Structure 1
Amino acid sequence: MTDSPPLVATLLLVDDEPHVLSALRRELRREGYRLLTADNGKTALERMAEECIDAIISDALMPGMDGIELLAQVQRDWPECLRLLLTGKADLNAAVRAINEGRIYHYIAKPWDATELRQTLRLALSHQQAERERQRLETLTRAQNRELVALNANLEQRVADRTAELQQTANMLDAAYGDLEQSYVTATRVFASLINQRLPRHLQTNATVGNLLTAFAEQLGLDEESQRDLQMAAALYNLGKLTWNDHLLTTPSERLFAADRDAYRRYPETGESLLMALEHLEGTATIIRHHRERWNGSGFPDHLKEQAIPYGARLLSLAVDFIELQRGMILPRKVPRHSALALLEKFAGRVYDPALVAPFVELCLEQAPDLGVGGRKVLSLEPRKLEPGMQLAQDLHSPAGMLLLNQGKELSRGLIDKLIRLEELEDTRLTLLVHPAEESDAEPEPGTKTQTG
């Protein structure tokens, strides 16, 4: 009989003695845990605030905040985190205090027994996982019970509403087939609606991608047919994702592995296949099939490179990645708008057509069609050029991705001074997209980029 595989968990090890931390890491590294360390209580609390920690093992005796005080604060702020106390002295009073104040799961004496330490952690994390699953199932059961009660209360009305919805969909399809010359337009609307039905609101990117491509196509002077194909591709590029389950839909692409990764890499081909029967969408289908190809040939599905990649697919790739980076659909975090543009520039010549990246970034900085500002003027300014009364046109994030200010926030002199100090303290450069103060008629300073949505 083999042991069950170790649980994947994040552990925080806290001890003021480096050799103890090293010994703990050696003992636990083979268990497959993600191990973080801290050499004092203050640093440990900072790591707790930054990371999702499943269990903390802390030495009892440390300068400043001791282990018992640390675990007590962890219990207050992060009660679901398992707490284990490590001490070199068989101090009954310390154990009682740790149990009372920190509500520790286990008390480990130094020097520890390696086998006992590993087994204790396995048992603790298994118990934690079981409790989390129990709470999840309880929440799910309560939600299902409420839904069942509501369904039984108005089942007849629900059936009537659903019948009306189905009839409305049938009428839409009948109208589409009644006018073959406009079939591709109707099909696009139906498919786009189906896609949005499957996706959470914050992952419904088609409209924003479409706005970007409309502006970009006009800037590049594309002909009417090319612009139409691009618009159809923007509306339908993730059509192949309709066959995915909810987990796959909401997981960032860089977090997908094995079968999920394979399914992800097939979605452009699936989207093309679904459109093959629509004669008017042949150009659109080709763009969709190849919008995940890369300039250096490392993309999919056909590993095309450089000019072999259809022009429209190169345009769609830029717009899709720019929006999906900001929505957290590629990396496991949302990338601020200015950082997303910087990534496009970084990968020009490897992932993207280098001749298209520069005008695309310029478009986003000068016109910001993805922000939907409806014609309001937008300025791109450094903190020192801001003026009180200006209004943020987009959320402001720190270089680390933390939200600093919300879109729509009106800037005061105090806020502007804080942003200037933040630049100095962090040795970084911030760029804000703002609407000018309504009462200000002043022209922007030389070198300021003026944007219109």
Structure 2
Amino acid sequence: MNDAMTQDSSVRILFVDDEEYILNSLKRSFSQADYDILTADSGKMGLEILEKQPVDVVISDFKMPEMNGLQFLGQVREKHPHALRAFLSGYVDQLAVIKALTNGIATVYFPKPWDDTELKVSIDHILQIQKALKEKKLIELMDSASNLPTLPAMYQKFSQAISTGASLGQIANLVSEDAVVTARILQISNSAFFGRGQTASIEQAIMILGLDTVKNIILTIALAADLQIAPEKMQNFEKIIKHSSLVNKYFLLIYRMAFGRPVRPENTSLCITHDIGKIVLLQYFPERFQSMLDFQAKNPHLGFYQCESELGYGETAHTQIGGYLLDLWNLPKLAVEVAMLHHDANHKNHINRDTLKVVHLTNELINLLALNPEVKEIEESNLDKNLLQELKLKPDRIDFLIPNIKKDLIGL
């Protein structure tokens, strides 16, 4: 069985299922949608279709005779890595599904029976991500990295505890299960920046830092553990984490200066993950990461992102990689946008333009002072003055922060 419903749109979706009535139902569901719909009743036929024409999204049943959905989408990934892959199935083998999603064989799992509207919205969302992240080159790059990191289990447990209304004591007990995380949280809460005095209580430390900050500390530490960062890479890993923490610290200050109010509680740790794409490069593409550092050493006036552009990696820069990974982890869309667009304050597609402008300004300021420590006043630098005007920030207010930023940059 091979059926195509031609629409005006160039977006093409292939549904693969061994049940004809399922395929007929899907065709009816999408009869008014602006897609080209292809159907196949076996994995073999699905592969034959893919050999003849490009497809944007492949959605397959899980349990099929001869070639099951796992085998089929595995071959799709190998032979047609640009196509987004998903399961639509009533068969639930939780372990197999988790393995498929973890290994990147599929991006998402849709259960049967499905809701037409929800399925269409979800597919639209997948396609929007595909367009925003320049999918074909990016997915090919990400698919070449086996075993991309999943969202760390400790982070998931902590997030679930918050969402279910766990008490502070219960959350503290959860954190205390990991000695490394506990020590790091206590270290940060006792730092001079928070200025609340010394504490050995994890409960007090969580109160000082706030749940969102603790959650993102857990994310970075657990990610390092899960990735098993080699000792020779640890110095660069630590630099990325310290830079992200520094950007987050001054983002909170500059946001308040610009708008006269604090950042919304759920956004207080937005910048902690903004450079996570660099961590992916460091771990999975070390030669490319090192080539950036080598090029930057020869061109010390250029930042990492500028080096990527100069060397032709614009469409698969660390920003795109970071956005891809955070979206894969289903983190808030604003966190995804901050990762993707923190070097592009004027991008038309971002959700919260004001927030992103402050992130961009803060990141550029930190990078500027790291590359040009002799700068004492913003007026004598190449920092975007138009952006300062848009945020109604006078240069001398930013100048006030420069000595503290330079002090924080020591050793970075």
Same fold (TM over 0.5): no
Say which one has the larger Rg. 1
Higher relative contact order by CA 8 Å / sep ≥ 6: 1 or 2?
Answer: 2
